[in-house]
Homo-oligomer: A and B are copies of this chain.
Amino acid sequence: MDYSFLLTLGIVLLFNKLLSVLFGKAQLPQVTGSLLSGFLLGPAVLGIVTEAIFGIKICLMPSVFLNKLAELGVVIIMFSAGMGTSVRDIKTSGKSGFLVALCGVLLPLAMGAAVMHFLANEHSSIMSAVFLGTVLTATSVSITVETLRELGKLSTRVGNTILTAAIIDDILGLVCLAIVSGLAGAKVNIGLTLLKPVLFFAFVLLCGFLHHAYFKHIEKNVGDQNIRRYPIAAFALCLFMSWAAEVIFGVADVIGAFAAGMIIAMSPKGKFIETRFAPLSYLLLTPVFFANIGIKATIPNLNEYFIIFTLVLVIVAIASKILGCGLGAKLSGFTTKQSLQTGVGMVCRGEVALIVASKGMALNLIPRDFFGPIVIMIISCTIITPVLLKLVFKGDDNADKLEASPLVDSYDLPVCLDIVSDELIKADKEQQKLSKVAEPTDEDESFDEEIK
């Protein structure tokens, strides 16, 4: 067996953390650092540097292993996203979140498709134009959450609407992905192709029902000592639904994972299960995912065409979300300033956009040369969002404050639990020390003497 994957994995982890820490110190979003680290480790930069300077070509992650591990990472990222999507919260949050999400999906979809159609005509079909539009639909809200918290504006009406809309536009984006990838895989029968997502939806309902029945059964029969079987059963459900979504229903595996997450979120142990997956993500799968993205992103020949394409893509990505979500906010009765704030808060793209783009590359709908510009677009959005947010919230000190927001709280939970466990362990140690002080024993005496 070749053991170099251990070293590669170690380098990926360290480099990823190092860049995200450095970015954090420079007041930039940490996720941008992670993404950049993958980009730097990949052939786009490190490949070029080593080739140019040392005359050798280093390919850090060539193996099937890391590729599959990254795919598993994608499944778990989407599973976690699904677990963060509570149907109950969406139902109670009402129409403003939905309107913002809907307009914020339709406009980027249309504008993204237009960019691909007009600027990359020779590379693209209608399907690939729609696919680029789909890449632009899903908002990544974590950077907005951090910035708003820093500004003290998270528990406001605008903040809460952004959180809800970001959840809903994930779902809408994945519905687009399901339809587009279903159509792209279709060779024979268009009716059958459109039937598949419907069958998949029925399958999800069935899984949800079975899970609910199973859960009721074990809740009656299982004590808290056996608490680990909940995350294990949840993970098995996620893997099974991902596989079925991809192989049986022909929609992407990530959609199955997301649906499994939504099912888990509805069970009483949902939050607990969600927190158990956090170490799996941050210790292993997310860094590998970002590194793998970097490897896929090659920088095409830096000619005028690709520079213009990238610039236009960045501008369209930002403008389409501000306009679309702002319109949705305005329609649901926000003031113009609040609408602008909402729109800006939805600009950021992240993991979901990357995952959709990767799927497009795998389906030959996004040409390889266009993946680099998409990565640059996402990095740009993550850097620009906090700057824009601080601008539009300037001087806005009398925002509507909300009393309590379960959505806001749920973002803090995993890190809080980490800190709590650390404190518990510390307290446990202190107590042991105290009990030792209470019964002083001579350290040099042998163990045999210590027992009276």
Contact = CB atoms under 8 A, between A and B. Distances in A.
Interface stretch (A52-60, A93-101, A131-139, A386-394): A93-101
B94 A403 contact: no
Interface stretch (A2-10, A117-125, A175-183, A312-320): A2-10
Interface stretch (A43-51, A186-194, A231-239): A231-239
B282 A279 contact: no
Interface string A419-452: 1111011001100100100010001001110110
A403 B428 CA distance: 16
Interface in A230-267: 231-233, 235-236, 239-240, 242-243, 246-247, 253
Contacts of A400: 451
Contacts of A448: 94-96, 332-333
Contact of A446 (B63, B95, B362, B432): B95
A17 B229 contact: yes
Contacts of A253: 3, 6
A271 B425 contact: yes
A283 B432 CA distance: 31
Name which of A10, A227, A240 has the most chain B CB atoms within 10 A of its CB.
Answer: A10
Interface residues of A, number: 89
A94 B63 CA distance: 48
A217 interface: no
Interface in A19-42: 21
Given A17-B233, A232-B13, A277-B283, A94 B7 contact: no
Contact of A6 (B239, B276, B421): B239
A227 B419 contact: yes
A302 interface: no
A409 B233 CA distance: 28
A247 B409 contact: no
Contacts of A6: 72, 75, 239-240, 242-243, 246, 253
Interface string A269-287: 1011001110110111000
B428 A409 contact: yes
A72 B283 CA distance: 13
B232 A17 contact: yes
Given A4-B247, A415-B225, A404 B422 contact: no
A224 interface: yes
A184 interface: no
Contacts of A17: 229, 232-233, 236
Given A95-B446, A447-B92, A236 B10 contact: yes
Given A227-B418, A283-B276, A415-B225, A451 B402 contact: yes
Contact of A227 (B75, B225, B272, B422): B422
A283 to B, nearest CB: 6
B4 A435 contact: no
Nearest to A64: B64
Contacts of A229: 17, 21
6 contacts: A1-B67, A3-B247, A4-B243, A161-B447, A271-B428, A275-B421
| 10 nearest A-B pairs in the assembled complex, by CB-CB distance | A94-B447, A10-B239, A94-B446, A6-B243, A7-B243, A65-B68, A271-B425, A10-B240, A14-B236, A272-B422
